[in-house]
Amino acid sequence: MLVEQTIQCPYCGEPYPSSIDVSAGGQEYIEDCYACCRPITIRVKVDHGGDLEGIEIRRDDE
């Protein structure tokens, strides 16, 4: 199941929509910012029922 979330780039501050696949469970992946193209590390937390618990956004160089 895809969940739409607004992600704010930790580099340029630009918000943009992102689709998160919660059926894959908790995960961590890298997505490039749509505005500045820098890599953003996204950590997704999913509960046991398959619902989105939270998202952690970090710069790739942190």
Looking at residue 26, its pLDDT comes to 94
CA contacts within 13 A on the Cβ side of 59: 7
Give pLDDT, residue 37. Answer: 95
Residue labelled with tokens 């998160």: 20
pLDDT tens digits, 3-57: 999 999 999 999 999 999 999 899 999 999 999 999 999 999 999 988 999 999 9
The pLDDT value given to residue 53: 94
Q: What is the pLDDT of residue 54?
A: 93
- Listing DSSP states for the chain in one string gives -EEEEEEE-TTT--EEEEEEEGGG-SEEEEEE-TTT--EEEEEEEE-TTS-EEEEEEEETT-
pTM beyond 0.95? no
